[in-house]
Structure 1
């Protein structure tokens, strides 16, 4: 615990009994935090607050996969927007907490924050988002990508299938990784392009599989390969799944030699159909703001942009 000269106390929460205190600042995922603690995706020692008496001025928290010994993502950095400038308090909070939470000598985990879809146009939202980004810019972070968060609801209807395509379950992990490796050629995804600057396409595919797909508890039988006709060549694949929070289209890709023929619509329609048949209330997805072809495919399939996300890295 640290107490600054102006009597701001900086400390981690003591346990699940202080979730309500931590949730004293509004954010779209507050309702998930208690379950995250119970599911070991968060730890009390990864969730820090800056208090002036009983008033919560700022907070910071990291997230990891269930049981991880160190966090994978910084996903909460908030301030009391009704207070006078608390940028310095928030920066001190982050630096103090990071020294305790993050392994010495490692690059800090990426920061990801959900923001309103119209945050660039709304002056209040813009000011709030930029304040939080500014805190991390002051400690060396920079914007890497802005992403669209997308949602399909049953009222939108299941997209029509592409009659040119047949579908089968993914054969095994090796087949999926091989397909992922192929679709990375020419990818527009910023995270994938960043990884490709440091490792081979196969290594990037393995990393993505191990960090995300391997943890899904939903059936692997949902994952689909799309082929030209029943016994034709694969044109791509789609991974409908359920993560710890929502049914999702986790990944979708068309192999390079089959791009430009509209097969993305059929792959997305199949992934949507698989989840819709489970009677889910919604399906979530995301794509980079700059990936116009994928964003347009989601729009054609009835997915709406309900939020955005900003990602920053060191």
Structure 2
């Protein structure tokens, strides 16, 4: 990796290693406290973390994220500028273009951009400008908004949601059965990422992709996963995947098959997933759903989950 200098005298380069985390973290963000561990666990690499410097002053930074062991990053999740400075749009654009040329495979579609933002980001003028600056930098390079998502959190003080006595639960131990249920739940999905997949592949292929790229990567016990049936011997109505990612306990996936939608079973599935994780004495449970998925957002609210942030996702087509 090499450094470069842009008009105005800013030097663009990757960080030199973990010793420069303090430099990288001079610009604030809600996940700064995770970056040192990410480097240690190789979810990030120094060569994936870039800065634009004017002397000792940090003007802008960006970083990609990947799973431990990945040779290329999966997500661009940090792009920041010094908001107390003059307009640094051109610096941020040069930073992204320079870093992308050296980090990403030539000719490949860049990884998606995902950014956590305050839940009320549109209501505060300064926050709105900062979010729009980042989006504008990436839009100039061909990215477009994919979806805005609600980030949700349950804490023990909210109390456990009420179980649905109509449902019985059993472990989702059979991969083929779970993937088949996932395939069925994709019919009529409101999830933007799933709809993007379905525009390019069959429902079965989309379900297998999601299983292999996300669910199969969790190290938390698979025994937590549950399939819900109508009574002990009834047919499956849906499933829930409580898990733990690298950072938090999460409701990783929840689906109700189309024939059983509209009967409130989503509340029982969410209650069961929450109960399983709460039994581990966790301090919080995280979840997310698309801003436009009102039925799922309402179910989380009924279960005591609070919208504490949002996420902006952008992609290159």
TM-score normalised by the chain length of structure 2: 0.98
Query: What are the residue-to-residue correspondences of 1:4-83 with 2, within 5 Å?
Result: 4-83=6-85
Instruction: Note the aligned Cα RMSD (angstroms).
Output: 0.6
1:210-259 CA distance string (max 9 Å, x none): 11111111000000000000010000000000000000000000000000
d(CA) in 1 for partners of 2:76, 2:165 = 43
Runs of 4 or more, structure 1, over 2 Å off, are: none
* 1:279 alignment partner in structure 2: 281
d(CA) in 2 for partners of 1:80, 1:219 = 42
* 1:264 alignment partner in structure 2: 266
Query: What are the residue-to-residue correspondences of 1:25-174 with 2, within 5 Å?
Result: 25-174=27-176
Tell me the CA shift for residue 176 of structure 1: 1.2
d(CA) in 1 for partners of 2:218, 2:190 = 25
d(CA) in 1 for partners of 2:11, 2:251 = 42
CA contact (8 A) 2:6 2:94 kept: no
d(CA) in 1 for partners of 2:93, 2:201 = 33
* 1:302 alignment partner in structure 2: 304
d(CA) in 1 for partners of 2:91, 2:206 = 38
CA contact (8 A) 2:242 2:274 kept: yes
2:4 matches 1:2: yes
SS at match of 1:6: coil
Tell me the CA shift for residue 287 of structure 1: 0.1
* 2:248 alignment partner in structure 1: 246
CA contact (8 A) 2:173 2:222 kept: no
* 2:202 alignment partner in structure 1: 200
CA contact (8 A) 2:226 2:240 kept: yes
d(CA) in 2 for partners of 1:4, 1:253 = 49
Structure 1 unmatched ranges of 5 or more? none
d(CA) in 2 for partners of 1:282, 1:212 = 21
2:221 matches 1:219: yes
* 1:292 alignment partner in structure 2: 294
d(CA) in 1 for partners of 2:200, 2:142 = 20
Tell me the CA shift for residue 171 of structure 1: 2.5
Stretch deviating more after TM superposition (130-139 or 170-179): 170-179
Tell me the CA shift for residue 3 of structure 1: 1.3
CA contact (8 A) 2:194 2:206 kept: yes
SS at match of 1:118: coil
Find 2:181's aligned residue among 179, 182, 198: 179
Give the number of equivalent residue pairs: 314
d(CA) in 1 for partners of 2:209, 2:198 = 11
Structure 2 unmatched ranges of 5 or more? none
Tell me the CA shift for residue 5 of structure 1: 3.3
Stretch deviating more after TM superposition (168-177 or 19-28): 168-177
